[in-house]
Structure 1
Amino acid sequence: MLGDENNSDLVALDEVDPRSCALIVIDELGDPAGGPLEGVLLEPTLNTARLAQAARKAGVPVIFTNDAHIEGLDRELALWGPHGLAGTPEAQTSPQLGQQEGDYVIEKRRYSAFFQTGLRLLLDELGARTLICCGMDTNICVRHTVADAYFNNYDVIVVGDATATFLVGNQEEGLSYMETCYAAKIVTTDEAEALIAGRA
């Protein structure tokens, strides 16, 4: 039956050149510590912080793709209510991630970090071909960004324990969907950190 075969298009970690990678951090915004979703968001955020630190050390670009919605215009707000409004603290990179000079920030107004943004141009200029993705929500902004990455012929790695689901569906199904439909290689933070450091 169609789809029963093993996915032969998945990334082989031992063949990835870290120099062709970029770390894409999707909507890890605000401070989850002490908030109502701390139990869901804090650990993945801290795992992402590890990856960002490793990426900077290895010279792998760190790209934060952050909601920057315009109140009264963006359709997404009618579905989810006000969130990630441009210029507010809730639209800023999480302090746990220690954003530094030299990191990149792409503001977005839709789920996908590619839609009507400069992400594709930036990746082309950086020479990135393999995207290491993490962030929130696994089933919304991460999935749509990964979909567009696949449609644009990037190799995709998703760090499962550096993503989180809290709005739609569940984590396991979300990761499985991206693996099946977008050839996303699902890895742990430890595996991604080793890849970035050239130890995969």
Structure 2
Amino acid sequence: MPGTALIVIDMLNTYDHKDAEALVTSVRKALPGIRTLIGRARASDSPVIYVNDNFGQWRSHHGELLQAALAGHHRDLVEPIVPDEDSLFIVKARHSIFFETPLAYLLGQLGIERLVLCGQVTEQCVLYSALDAHIRHFEVIVPPDGLAHIDPALADAALQMMQRNMAATVCATDDITLDATPPVAEPDAAAG
């Protein structure tokens, strides 16, 4: 089985934007599934990679982003999914987790071929990330019960598009198997 990584998208959020009210309701419903996936990935030694917006603070590192999210309006939505010391973290500037980030390189170094995408927002960042993963030949899995949305109809359409147009597996978190990453071959010292 190919190496699998869990990608947690934009869950370190301050929830101080115009769509926050609709999003918060959906995040509350998705949070148990996201927590389950994170716990399962950690237990199986699969990489957990947080890819998060930077809130326009180009001087920020992940610790500052986490502190801003914890100081935001909905700390209760952030605390249960705080990255641990083994979690990896990538800052993104746009919707896709791949756009101008080192994620593809990191996944290659880890021997990852299969991505489980969870987080927010289904009809925006998750959709664009699934497309970018698909065109990079990653196997993509998206669990509706581990995703939050702003607009339910658009989220349903996005899930249909991911399944139909991007060959994504759309299934419940309980149906997802996370496995340890295959070992990455060390470069041959004599070849260098």
Quickly name the TM-score band, shorter chain normalised.
0.7 to 0.9
Aligned to 2:97: 113
Question: Greater helix share, 1 or 2?
Answer: 2
Deviation of the 1:169 alpha carbon = 4.5
Note the residue ranges of structure 2 that are not aligned, 5 or more in a row.
59-63, 72-76, 181-192
Aligned-residue Cα RMSD (Å) equals 2.6
Aligned equivalent of 2:51 = 65
Look up the match of 2:189.
Answer: none
1:24 corresponds to: 7
The alignment partner of 2:125 has SS state of helix
TM-score (norm 2): 0.76
Distance 1:100 1:20 in 2: 20
| Distance across 1 between alignment mates of 2:171 and 2:70 | 27
How big is the shift at 1:39? 2.5
Match 2:114 to one of 122, 130, 147: 130
Normalised TM-score (structure 1): 0.73
Partner of residue 7, structure 1: none
Q: CA deviation at 1:47?
A: 1.1
Shift of 1:167: 4.9
1:160 aligns with 2:181: no
User: Match of 1:53?
Assistant: 39
Aligned length: 164
Indicate conservation of the 8 Å contact 1:23/1:62, yes or no.
Answer: yes
How far apart in 1 are the matches of 2:152 and 2:30?
A: 17
- Identify the residue that residue 178 of structure 2 maps to in structure 1: 196
Q: Which runs of 5+ in 1 are unaligned?
A: 1-16, 74-85
How far, CA to CA, are the matches of 1:178 and 1:100 in structure 2?
29
Cα deviation, residue 118, structure 1: 0.9
